[in-house]
Amino acid sequence: MNSYDFKDRVSVITGGGQGIGLSVAERMLQSGGKVSIWDRDEKLLSEISARYESSQIQTNKVDIGDLKSVEAATKATVEKFNQIDILINNAAIVGPNANTWDYPPEAFAEVIHIGLVGTFFVSRSVIPHMITRNYGRIVNLSSVAGKEGNPGAPAYSSMKAGVLALTKSMGKELAKYNIAVNAVTPAVAKTTMALSQEPEFLKMIISKIPRGRMLELGEAASMICWLATEENSFTTGAVFDLSGGRATY
């Protein structure tokens, strides 16, 4: 396993209580970094806090769809660590599986609000602290669904496509501040959120992956962590594929 240099770096990871977010957090902690994990599940946050020294980690209960909650967590993170160098925008929800003409309007709005508007809220709050230091690395979690669209998941597909566009805008805006903004597009991964989907839907999206399997959490964490290092010093506004061959662009 490659080692990454996160010494003296502070990361914010949204949706970091489990799944890909937690795998990234653990990899960064193993690599000497400090991490502020944001999640809305208090039980998960308590379990994480119990496993690590308080000097290494901070947990914040945050609803990224609530701007005041995001701003309070940003303030708490800066008060504890004095800086924010890295942002992993991972938090999102999947929503139900239904065709567009049957999709519940309230559910569509919620998926977009949390996954896209919430990503905007977090970025808006954290970026000024990176600009001040003239350094930052932001990795946004999109999905292969944001490239290709998944039938029966119009809200999730639309939200993840929006995350890609936001990534490209931010990458151009922040290039002059030595802040790299990139996105990754995972295929379905072994997360609680993914495994909660209907079995037939899950079977359908796995069948589209040439690798013939789900993405392992450690595989996602490896790519995300490299994108968050200082070594990723030139690429910005780009999309890195994690789809097991489903998308080749």
Q: Which domains does the chain have, with CATH numbers?
A: 10-242 (3.40.50.720)
Cβ neighbours of residue 98 closer than 8 Å, sequence gap 6 or more: 104, 152
Q: Under a CB-based contact definition with an 8 Å cutoff, are residues 189 and 19 in contact?
A: yes
- Other CB atoms within 10 A of residue 237 CB: 18
Q: How confident is the model at residue 8 (pLDDT cuts 50, 70, 90)?
A: very high
Span 75-87, average pLDDT: 98
Q: Of the residues 4, 156, 177, 249, which is catalytic?
A: 156
Rounded Cα gap, residues 37 and 77, in angstroms: 9
Predicted local confidence at residue 2, as pLDDT: 78
Asked whether residue 228 carries a pLDDT value surpassing 80, the answer given is yes
Q: Which segments of the chain does DSSP mark as H helices, in order? A: 19-30, 42-51, 67-81, 105-112, 118-133, 144-148, 154-174, 192-195, 199-207, 217-227
Kindly state the tokens that stand for 224.
């995300």
Rounded CA separation 30/204 (Å): 36
- Reported as a single tens digit per residue, the pLDDT across 10-38 is 999 999 999 999 999 999 999 999 999 99
Mean pLDDT of 143-157: 96
d(CA 112, CA 162): 9
Res 193: pLDDT = 72
Across 105-110, average pLDDT: 98
CA distances from 26 to 41, 50, 100, 116 (A): 18, 14, 38, 25
Spatial separation of the C-alpha atoms in residues 220 and 137, rounded to whole Å: 17
- State yes or no: is 249 an active-site residue: no
Residue 62 neighbours by CB distance under 10 Å: 29
Write the DSSP symbol of residue 104. -
Percent of the chain whose pLDDT exceeds 70? 100
Whether the CB-CB separation of 91 and 21 falls below 8 Å is answered with yes
> Can you tell me whether residue 139 is helix, strand or coil?
strand
Question: Confidence band (pLDDT; 50, 70, 90) for 88?
Answer: very high
Contact 153, 103 (CB under 8 A): no
- Averaged pLDDT score across all residues of the chain: 95
Arithmetic mean of pLDDT, 99-119: 98
For 94, the 3-state DSSP assignment is: coil
What's the pTM value of the predicted model, to 2 decimals? Answer: 0.94
Of 205, 182, 185, the residue nearest 195 (C-alpha): 205
The predicted-structure confidence for 42-75, as pLDDT tens digits, reads as follows 999 999 999 988 889 999 999 999 999 999 999 9
Judge contact between 17 and 58, C-beta under 8 A. no
The type of residue at 11 is: S
Say if residue 224 is exposed, middle or buried (CB neighbours under 10 Å; 0-12, 13-18, 19+): buried
**What's the pLDDT band for 139 if we cut at 50, 70, 90?**
very high
